[in-house]
Amino acid sequence: MTATSTRPAARARPFNWLPVKIWALYIVGLIPAVWYFYLGATGNLGADPVVTFEHNLGFWAIRFLLATLAVTPIFILGGPNLIAYRRALGLLGFWYVLFHFTVYLTLDRALDFSAIIPDIVKRPYITIGMLGFIMLIPLALTSNRFSIRRLGPRWNKLHKLSYLVIIAGVVHFVMSTKVLIVEQTIYIVLTALLLGFRVFKKPIMNWRKERMKAKRLAKA
């Protein structure tokens, strides 16, 4: 008679929902672009649909870029860990900047480079916007694991360009509309807070560590 070994059944690994959530973020993030395109195609974007479409794409670009910069402060200050979604938020910001620029080139200026080049050179807000777009390109191209491994510490240095990109984007936005409205003020304040956080990041992290240490001692 042979003895049978009773091994515990291997536990099935829980399904990894993270890739699904990230792709869902991409899909949801692109809905505004599709919606504004639909409104424009059906004649529901007002008296100047091209400019409205162009501006709305630019607004969403700034929102996603600000959201990207907000991920680290939210986590350090005790909020949820959204680091896994930061790349998707940054790439969505890039795509909206690209859409914004494409609409300007094609629908606004009809690929008339005799008008586009003087625009870029002579109109400061377009010059600043173009500089921001150029700085954003290497960030988008290196937003992958291969580039992180290949560049090493240089990757972090390169991606500090995102600070200049958001400054350029907000300045471009404010100068292009020529008036300071509530939405612009909010973006300016958020940019100042998010960049200011980077300046005081170390003392803030030290304060948080001391606070967590005090909580652990209090529970002991």
Q: What is the pLDDT of residue 194?
A: 96
Confidence of residue 14 (pLDDT cuts 50, 70, 90): confident
Q: What is the Cα 100 distance to its own chain's centre?
A: 14
Of 33-37, 157-161, 178-182, the least confident: 178-182
Q: What is the pLDDT of residue 181?
A: 84
Separation of first and last alpha carbons in the chain: 55
Q: Is the pLDDT of residue 1 over 60?
A: no
Q: Is the pLDDT of residue 193 over 70?
A: yes
Which residues, including other chains, have CB under 8 Å from residue 211's CB and lie 6 or more apart? none
Query: Hey, what's the torsion of the CAs at 101, 106, 112, 115, to 10 degrees?
Result: -40
Mean pLDDT across 200-213: 79
Mean pLDDT across 37-44: 95
Q: Is the pLDDT of residue 39 over 60?
A: yes
Q: What is the pLDDT of residue 13?
A: 79
Amino acid at 58: G
Is residue 142 within a helix (H) or strand (E), and if so which, with residue range?
none
**Mean per-residue pLDDT over the chain, rounded:** 90
Q: Is the pLDDT of residue 26 over 50?
A: yes
**24 vs 95: CA distance, rounded Å:** 16
Mean pLDDT across 62-66: 97
Query: Percent of the chain having pLDDT more than 70?
Result: 95
Confidence of residue 7 (pLDDT cuts 50, 70, 90): low
Confidence of residue 10 (pLDDT cuts 50, 70, 90): low
Query: Percent of the chain having pLDDT more than 90?
Result: 75
Mean pLDDT across 135-163: 94
Which residues, including other chains, have CB under 8 Å from residue 71's CB and lie 6 or more apart? 82, 83, 85, 86, 89
**163 vs 136: CA distance, rounded Å:** 10
- The predicted-structure confidence for 84-118, as pLDDT tens digits, reads as follows 999 999 999 999 999 999 999 999 999 999 999 99
Mean pLDDT across 153-179: 93
Class of residue 97 by CB neighbours under 10 A (exposed 0-12, middle 13-18, buried 19+) = buried
Q: What is the pLDDT of residue 69?
A: 96
Query: Hey, what's the torsion of the CAs at 108, 112, 118, 124, to 10 degrees?
Result: 20
